[in-house]
Structure 1
């Protein structure tokens, strides 16, 4: 059974690309090399699977679909394990070096040489779940206190996962962007340090470190391929994942790098609006999307520098595609590997399938029978209760 809506209206904006060198300037090759050298030394590191969905590709009429399954990443269920934890390690390295008056290495932080010093440095962030879990995990490993700010719609299961990693979790009544504001304010008032995956004026190093950490995932993909994909469909959010992946792909493949398509929920479409206006644009979120990790109303300025030069198309998808996409991966077509994915992981898959149902949109995106599409399965089952509900909806029907 192909459990997928036969008709779904996608929003589409063709990008107005700027000229520039952001893929080398914002995230340098050295940034990626440093993160790779360190993260591959972490206990439990191993590359995550790159799964070929051959039967699905044949079903929708493309040459291939590759799905990078980040569910197994360090036991945290998300690609974010590469970002928040690494940015925490880098921040502790910088702060302890400054306090002691001599250079401290990343290895020193990893092995706990300065654990007592780390215990005096509180790290904070706002999150929809996965970034906060990564930061909490890193703080637990490196010995630093951690405070995580979450908004009203973050599930209790995700909140408890962060508490289980030693974080103090503060839930607010507002949305994600309100939690970002509060985290910044309380950090400034108390001498704490924000480890965010989004940048703003005067704040850029931790978001750069977060995106550099994501480069480990991109390099794993490139190392396993002999030929570049023709397309990569990347979920939005603040843009950090997309920018990190795009920069890594461009640095590796050069002019042969894949066409970049950004996908967002129509309920949280800040990058789509930025693509439409040609500049970083805030989107007013009125209703929360089921894709909790993508519920972001304000783009990261640093990420937008890269995306404004590299993205070809912006798409939005309706909520009606989320649950069927999760179920399609978990109960795949015969011959394909079953994958248990979270709600935010399936944005690219949902958009790809729906786009192939629309001949005009397929033409605009350059999706042909020869297209080889890369998808980033950004999370596994990070909230079992939500996953069980989604899977049960089909059974009930």
Structure 2
């Protein structure tokens, strides 16, 4: 059943050092503020932590738990926690400046400053899920929203953002080009970028985005009876991975799990950063099926945390992504059915592939006592792509 996952993974070791990035880049206070605010939102509910006991038995692990973010606020992904919260924080800072007084998050959330919010335009580049979260937040808080997408973002994902009131601008280049255009036009027009990646002089919104993600990690930790021994985290710019790694460190301390970063072979900026020992860009030549992970430039803030927390970096071929989606959707290992998107299964695919190789299994320290946490970062965010995968297509 799992034979199709018998593929070679590339691996490079991290160089984790005892440091304070998991507490200083993202503080316990940052996480606490985000958790207090987001859990007060209408429609908040913890997402499921699904036990994949059948899979665990087949790969020779003690347990595998999958945090399923598909139901999150009806938006289909964990990004609902980040972009919307960061938008709220940008509005709070700007309104406090405009009005010359402290404005609370609750006031904005309850609509007390809707007229003022209408004059503050928020923009971002996205592969889909972050933009959808930002558009949803802007619609809730009354702010105009412009979203920049690259050529390979599906029309289904673009339509989902338009349905939430966003103006969607499609460019001919890749994700990194869309980031540059969003920054340029925001500077020219006095708009505010709400990005999930940081750069020199731009840190507050990305920090808020990552703080928002901590809600997901806290839910998982509180649902687990024991700390996981491993967590497999998909890469992208590194925001999700860094947030989860920091939150796990803050929750479990010295018992925090081994952090394994998983990326597409076609977009391995964190893998290359680990090899180089510093944040390093990756030249994307071909788009991966994992649209949400097609990022060539790592977030500098995220890398600060991952440089200290990540033990391993692996890349996976696109060929095992669709099979991982079908494995969950069909309950092939006897586990509960989970409908997951392409980017959600990166960690799952890497875990199975690693366990199919005795050498890689040993390299990652996986054995019969391993308790593995996976972050299922999205549900079905593009029904057309999901349908094609379920029809048996491995490349969409």
TM range (shorter): over 0.9
Cα offset, 1:17, TM superposition? 2.1
- Counterparts of 1:302-341 in structure 2 under 5 Å? 302-333=301-332, 335-341=334-340
Q: Which residue of 2 aligns with 1:192?
A: 191
Per-residue deviation, residues 262-294 of structure 1 (Å, max 9, x unmatched): 000000000000011110000000000000000
TM-score (norm 2): 0.98
- Counterparts of 1:373-384 in structure 2 under 5 Å? 373-384=372-383
Q: Which residue of 2 aligns with 1:253?
A: 252
Per-residue deviation, residues 156-202 of structure 1 (Å, max 9, x unmatched): 00000000000000000000000000000000000000000000000
Runs of 4+ in 1 over 3 A off after TM superposition: none
Per-residue deviation, residues 231-275 of structure 1 (Å, max 9, x unmatched): 000000000000000110000000000000000000000000001
- Counterparts of 1:1-397 in structure 2 under 5 Å? 2=1, 4-333=3-332, 335-393=334-392
Cα offset, 1:394, TM superposition? 6.5
Alpha-carbon contact 1:261-1:312 (below 8 Å) kept: yes
Cα distance change, pair 334–286 in 1 and its aligned pair in 2 (3 A): closer
Per-residue deviation, residues 115-141 of structure 1 (Å, max 9, x unmatched): 000000000000000000000000000
Cα offset, 1:221, TM superposition? 0.7
**Secondary structure at the residue paired with 2:392?**
helix
Cα distance change, pair 6–46 in 1 and its aligned pair in 2 (3 A): closer
Alpha-carbon contact 1:3-1:324 (below 8 Å) kept: no
State how far apart, in whole Å, the 2-side matches of 1:55 and 1:331 are: 13
State how far apart, in whole Å, the 2-side matches of 1:128 and 1:334 are: 31
State how far apart, in whole Å, the 1-side matches of 2:197 and 2:367 are: 35
State how far apart, in whole Å, the 1-side matches of 2:97 and 2:28 are: 25
Alpha-carbon contact 2:128-2:157 (below 8 Å) kept: yes
State how far apart, in whole Å, the 2-side matches of 1:394 and 1:105 are: 49
State how far apart, in whole Å, the 1-side matches of 2:36 and 2:251 are: 17
State how far apart, in whole Å, the 1-side matches of 2:296 and 2:322 are: 22
**Secondary structure at the residue paired with 2:372?**
strand
Cα offset, 1:19, TM superposition? 3.8
**Secondary structure at the residue paired with 1:5?**
helix
State how far apart, in whole Å, the 1-side matches of 2:171 and 2:138 are: 22
Cα distance change, pair 388–300 in 1 and its aligned pair in 2 (3 A): same
Alpha-carbon contact 2:5-2:352 (below 8 Å) kept: no
Per-residue deviation, residues 313-363 of structure 1 (Å, max 9, x unmatched): 000000100100000000113531000000000000000000001111111
State how far apart, in whole Å, the 1-side matches of 2:3 and 2:378 are: 21
Alpha-carbon contact 2:120-2:191 (below 8 Å) kept: yes
Cα offset, 1:6, TM superposition? 4.6
Provide structure 2 residue ranges, at least 5 long, that are not aligned to the other structure: none
State how far apart, in whole Å, the 2-side matches of 1:6 and 1:70 are: 24
Deviates more, 1:240-249 or 1:332-341: 332-341
Provide structure 1 residue ranges, at least 5 long, that are not aligned to the other structure: none
State how far apart, in whole Å, the 2-side matches of 1:365 and 1:127 are: 32
Q: How many residues align?
A: 394
State how far apart, in whole Å, the 2-side matches of 1:107 and 1:271 are: 37
Alpha-carbon contact 1:236-1:264 (below 8 Å) kept: yes
